[in-house]
């Protein structure tokens, strides 16, 4: 069955506008199917908060199994958030306490923009670990995205992430190392996925911690790994949830940081993402803004709208299939209990 739009979360309306079929809670209550309850811990910063909701809801919308799928966004303490984000969370998110009381079948923990070299110094570290430890004993399976993957390695295995010499970002190919694994049913032998991180853990780090590495790339390294059989933890370092324009928006943000003095060098292109025409247009923009003197309020607009429509998404089909397999496994195990 489709995803249940059980609240007034704006992301539900946005997905309907994209043509996805969501069902209201009254239909879910009447169709006689069991419920599958998934918590979505959203750690992303304010500017990406709602986009992240949409991205992960798109991934799980492909489930299509014989259960009503309910996804409950929630957040941890929000002292570092702006007032508008706090209001959005207060209005549309569940609290962790509410979800503990009601129970969940599975968890998704998003990534976050690192603010400190030491991951344990992040403002959300302690409450995030509280959620992870609760989930470890109270839900069937937890999907961890990027920084959340690094957090598990640090917390349970005392394995610190490594700071890369340069940011790893772009769209990369990955080889399936265990193609017979249930999570990879129906997935091509080579899958693509975006990466965007300054810190990383390696496939060797995962293997030393007893994890099974499922997908790795010659350029980007670790993409997907699991712990346990069935998978208690699923670890992504890549970002199958990204929109086609996510890396374009990140590139724009880095350009703006350069223009406002937030970074010393003009950003390089994400790898394997922009085509030749897009690179020519962006190189022209770079020349325009770096070879002339502009006041901050007169800097020419970044050509985002001009380039957005040409970005191709080559990764979401594989991501949706992996999430479909994950949810099918959770639902099957729940039906046997």
The residues spanned by each domain of the chain are: 10-243+313-336, 246-308
Among the listed residues 6, 181, 223, 239, the single catalytic one is 239
What is the value of pTM for the model shown?
0.95
Q: In CATH, which of 3.40.640.10, 3.40.50.880, 3.40.30.10, 3.40.50.740 is domain 10-243+313-336?
A: 3.40.50.880
pLDDT at 135: 97
In DSSP terms, 48 is beta-bridged to none
Using DSSP bridges, classify how beta strands 35-41 and 212-217 pair: parallel, antiparallel or unpaired: unpaired
Q: What is the dihedral of CA 236, 182, 11, 302, to 10 degrees?
A: 40
Considering only CA atoms, give the Rg of the chain: 20
pLDDT band (50, 70, 90) for residue 228:
confident
Q: Is the pLDDT of residue 196 over 80?
A: yes
Q: What is the pLDDT of residue 4?
A: 96
CA distance 158 to 209: 9
Residue 100 bears catalytic tag: no
Judged by DSSP in three states, 274 sits in coil
Does residue 145 register a pLDDT over 80?
yes
Q: Of these residues, 146, 181, 192, 254, which one is catalytic?
A: 146
**Average of pLDDT values for 255-273?**
95
d(CA 325, CA 304): 35
């Amino acid at each position: 069955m489709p995803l249940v739009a059980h609240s007034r979360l704006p992301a539900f309306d946005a997905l309907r506008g994209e043509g996805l079929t969501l069902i209201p809670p009254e239909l879910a209550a009447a169709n006689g199917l069991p419920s599958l309850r998934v918590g979505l811990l959203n750690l992303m910063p304010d500017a990406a908060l709602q986009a992240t909701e949409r991205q992960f809801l798109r991934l799980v919308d492909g489930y299509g199994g014989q259960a009503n799928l309910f996804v409950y966004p929630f957040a941890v303490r929000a002292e570092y958030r702006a007032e508008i984000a706090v209001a959005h969370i207060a209005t549309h998110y569940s609290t962790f306490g509410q979800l503990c009381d009601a129970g969940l079948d599975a968890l998704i923990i998003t990534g976050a923009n690192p603010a400190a070299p030491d991951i344990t110094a992040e403002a959300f570290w302690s409450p995030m670990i509280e959620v992870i430890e609760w989930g470890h004993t109270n839900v069937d399976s937890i999907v961890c995205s990027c920084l959340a993957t690094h957090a598990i390695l640090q917390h349970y295995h005392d394995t610190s992430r490594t700071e890369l010499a340069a940011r790893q970002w772009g769209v990369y190919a990955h080889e399936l190392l265990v193609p017979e694994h249930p999570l990879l049913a129906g997935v091509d032998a080579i899958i693509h996925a975006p990466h965007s991180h300054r810190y990383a853990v390696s496939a060797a780090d995962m293997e030393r911690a007893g994890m099974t590495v499922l997908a790795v790339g010659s350029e980007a390294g670790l993409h997907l790994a699991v712990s346990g059989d069935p998978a208690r933890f699923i670890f992504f370092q890549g970002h199958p949830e990204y929109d086609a324009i996510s890396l374009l928006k990140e590139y724009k943000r880095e350009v703006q940081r350069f223009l406002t003095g937030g970074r010393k060098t003009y950003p390089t292109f994400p790898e394997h993402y922009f085509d030749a025409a897009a690179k020519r247009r962006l190189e022209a923009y770079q020349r325009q803004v770096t070879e002339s003197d502009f006041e901050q309020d007169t800097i020419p607009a970044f050509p985002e709208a001009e380039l957005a429509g040409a970005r191709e998404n080559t990764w979401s089909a594989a991501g949706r299939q992996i999430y479909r397999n994950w949810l099918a496994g959770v639902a099957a195990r729940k039906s046997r209990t």
